[in-house]
Structure 1
Amino acid sequence: MRTGGRPGRVNAVRVIAGLAVVALTATACAGEQVTGELQTVGEVAGLPVTHFESGLKDDAAKPDVRAEGATDAVEDRLALASIADVTDYWDEQMPEHFGEKFEHVDKLMSYDPEGEAQEVCGTSTRDMALNAFYCPPEDLVAWDRGVLLPLLREKFGDMAVAAVLAHEFGHAVQTRLGEKAGIDGGTSTIVKEQQADCFTGSYMRWIAEDKSKYFELSTSDGVNEVLGALFLIRDAPGSHANEQGAHGSGFDRTYAVQLGFEEGAKRCAEIDKTEVDERITEVPFKNATDQAQQGQAPITGGTMVHVQRSLDQAFSATGVDPPQIVEGDGTCQQGRSTPPVSYCEQNNEVHIDLTTLEKIGQPADQVGELTGKNSPDAGLGDFAVFSEVASRYVQGIQKGVGAPTEGGQAGLRTACLVGAWAKFANNPDSGSTLYLSPGDLDEAIAELLQPRSLLAADINGHRVANGFARIEALRNGYLEGSSVCTETYK
């Protein structure tokens, strides 16, 4: 995020108007530090929220699939089951939605980039660590079983392997559909990647509906794993969506997955350049200074002055006395505490532990994340901190207008309002002296997916169980503004 004055001003964000007044009673003891609890709320795109271990079914048959180089390693077994399963999916979907038979992928290959070198699609496997890909000239899907798949399984579980292979099959589907998906030789990479992510989401919905012979997927932790895996494989901040090979920011990729999960494969094939250009968030740094700093602002008391000012501007239309951000140990002397950031109802203040927040606000080590060798000094980035502070600030705003501040809907409304604030700050005419840099929205999502995150938590620090709903709420606020927060999360 960047700080600095900008000319102009727009009307303050319209926030939580028309909500019924609800009396709130503090239930915590003086100085109590609340441990966040997961809350099951609502549904996931029309499906019930379910809780069980996702992965291969206990009674899943051995798939009748062969791949060059495949071993008996668990990663290859999962990959082959994933391919058999996603093939079943497209055998069903292609005739139903596109009026044609799905021609199965011709070649499959498993390789170890640290093993014997082989040439695949014109490139040595030694140069393809942390990779899975579809090669159109050979109609080949290949995957790195030595580095990529073990990393994904360790970080996110078995469904991450299925997600990555489903994405590559999405590219094979594009090749077969051609004009039916708007794909030709001039189609930009980002459009193809958004479609493939969306196809992945539609396939995951099929599994969650218990239509798969091989896998089962819970709509809480299971879907969280899928979103986390594709979020991990995002472009670096400052990348341009029009570059060859662009996959999109984490914000963009999770959007596409959720779109497919909600609306299905036919909708995915409708994604085109016009749509992508309207909503894609992946943009380059605006100048050399911003690029040199990677868009990171220091986590200091001085920077928090800009955070306070921007939040006050964004929510001024509510007429509520704004909470004041106060440095300390991040706890309240009375009532509920959710350190390192707490909203203290008694004095309408947001108490912050700046030392802890400074550690969280250190730049992320994306290369370390991908290799499994994260730097011990790595954090999540500045906007992870600012959005966490904002999440407690909007507790005061919601309380001030009489909105419910406890429960799952309050947690989702919180994430939505943080997204609305990000939209306000990103408006060049807002007058905010704190404004977004490339990668900031990804930092918010990274924070949102943390077990300790307050970003989609109610006033007690209790967060919503399913990451799908948490990310969707933040995105709704950012893309549609604050009115959707009050209309959707009541």
Structure 2
Amino acid sequence: MKWEGNRESDNVEDRRSDGGGGGGPIFGGRSIGIGTIVVALVGGWVLGVNPLTILSLLSGGGGGGQVVQQQSPAQAPPAHDTMARFVSTVLADTEDVWTDIFRQGGSQYRDPKLVLFRGAVGTACGTGQSAMGPFYCPGDQKVYIDLSFYDQLKNQLGAPGDFAQAYVIAHEVGHHVQNLLGISGKVDEMRGRVSKVEYNRLSVKLELQADCLAGVWAHHAQNARQILEQGDVEEAMNAAAKIGDDALQRAQTGQVVPDSFTHGTSAQRQRWFMTGLKSGSVNSCDTFSAASL
């Protein structure tokens, strides 16, 4: 991926020296993370707890209202930190793309913040943990990432490459777009109104739409700045395959339970990312009206 020398975002907060945000669970205010299913499956396997129970807790199903954590003032990441520069550059690229798309639609895009942390971090959704993987908190409109996740993505999940890493950020920014458009709020309103299985289906549609929106970003970034190099699309597709619900469940338990899916299968995640990449159209990402996923 061609990223060096491109604009870096000023909307990055470096909280890696904060010493962790307490290490507790997420309370209320659904946080949406690409790695939520990972920690649920691993936690269920290690602790002997039903992964669905962990998923419910991580997505806010077992808590009360929002908990706002007190934090020290945010700092900008150091200039010599290559990985921080990378995520800052990818974030800037998403800002440029979504600002243009929103402007063309007659509205104004509000940039999200991206928070770098280690271990645990306080958020408007409660305390976020590294084990969740990267996640977006709609309560404060921030994307959170412990950069050690990229080591896990490469070494444990088998999804190396800088564009795989960029896809992760673009997916979480996709959740921010959904928040601005009111889509994620409508899904969250259904919690408790529908069965657990039906809510999981809505969650899958939300996550697949975020994958599609990540593809929309890549389409426009490529057209404007030619960021893609040979093999980049394959890196993103491989990452999408490795974090599909079916792939993760099969790897951890040897079984696949479709009713417990919250993010979509590997094939679905690949399909919707490619839909956004090929079309470059937000309208093509309507997973909620799609005849099939």
TM range (shorter): 0.5 to 0.7
CA-CA distance at 1:268 after TM superposition? 3.9
2:228 corresponds to = 217
Name the CA distance, whole Å, in 2 between partners of 1:160 and 1:184.
Answer: 28
Instruction: From the superposition, tell whether residues 206 and 135 of structure 1 become closer, same or farther in structure 2 (CA, over 3 Å).
Output: same
Q: What is the total number of aligned residue pairs between the two structures? A: 210
Query: Helix, strand or coil for the counterpart of 1:108?
Result: strand
TM-score of the aligned structures, taking structure 1 as reference length: 0.39
Contact 1:108 1:141 in 2 (8 A): yes
- Percent identity over the alignment is 24
Cα contact 1:195–1:271 (8 A) shared by 2? yes
- Hey, what's the Cα distance between the residues in 2 that align with 1:256 and 1:165? 16
Distance change >3 Å, CA 268–CA 111, structure 1 → 2: farther
Alpha carbons of structure 1 residues 201 and 61: separation in structure 2 relative to 1, 3 Å: closer
Amino acid in structure 2 at the alignment position of 1:267: N
Q: 1:206 aligns with which of 192, 196, 220?
A: 220
1:63–1:81 contact (8 Å) kept in structure 2: yes
Q: Is contact 2:174-2:213 (8 Å) kept?
A: yes
Q: Which aligned pairs between 1:319-338 and structure 2 lie closer than 5 A?
A: none
Residues 336-365 of structure 1: per-residue CA shift (max 9 Å, x gap): xxxxxxxxxxxxxxxxxxxxxxxxxxxxxx
Matches within 5 A, 1:266-281: 266-272=282-288, 274-275=289-290, 278-280=291-293
Q: CA deviation at 1:251?
A: 0.6
Residue 153 (structure 1) shift: 5.9
The Cα of 1:175 is off from its aligned counterpart by 1.1
1:81: which partner in 2?
Answer: 89
Q: Which amino acid aligns with 1:158?
A: D
CA distance in 2, matches of 1:176, 1:258: 23
List per-residue Cα deviations over 1:66-109 (Å, max 9, x = no partner).
Answer: 3132644332221111111101110011122x32111122x431
What SS does structure 1 have at the residue aligned with 2:262? coil
CA shift digits 1:312-357 (9 cap, x unpaired): xxxxxxxxxxxxxxxxxxxxxxxxxxxxxxxxxxxxxxxxxxxxxx
In structure 1, which of residues 157, 171, 191 is the aligned counterpart of residue 205 of structure 2?
A: 191
Residue 170 (structure 1) aligned with residue 174 (structure 2): yes
Q: Could you tell me which runs of 5 or more consecutive residues in structure 1 were left unpaired when the two chains were aligned.
A: 1-53, 281-490
Q: CA RMSD in A?
A: 2.7
User: Which protein is bigger by CA-based radius of gyration?
Assistant: 1
- The unaligned stretches of length 5 or more in structure 2 are 17-76, 191-198, 251-255
Q: For residues 131 and 224 of structure 1, what CA distance do their matches in structure 2 show? A: 21
SS in 1 for 2:143: strand
Partner residue of 1:64 out of 1, 6, 10: 10
Q: Which residue of 2 aligns with 1:247?
A: 263
Contact kept, 8 Å, 1:167 with 1:197, in 2: the verdict is yes
1:404-483 → structure 2 map (5 Å cutoff) = none
Q: Please state how far the C-alpha of 1:62 moved relative to its aligned partner.
A: 4.0
Q: Paired residue for 2:145? A: 143
Whole-angstrom distance in 2 between the partners of 1:180 and 1:132: 17
Letter in structure 2 aligned against 1:92: D
C-alpha separation between the residues in 1 aligned to 2:179 and 2:131? 25
Q: Residues 372-383 of structure 1: matches in 2 within 5 Å? A: none
Q: Secondary structure at the match of 1:192?
A: helix
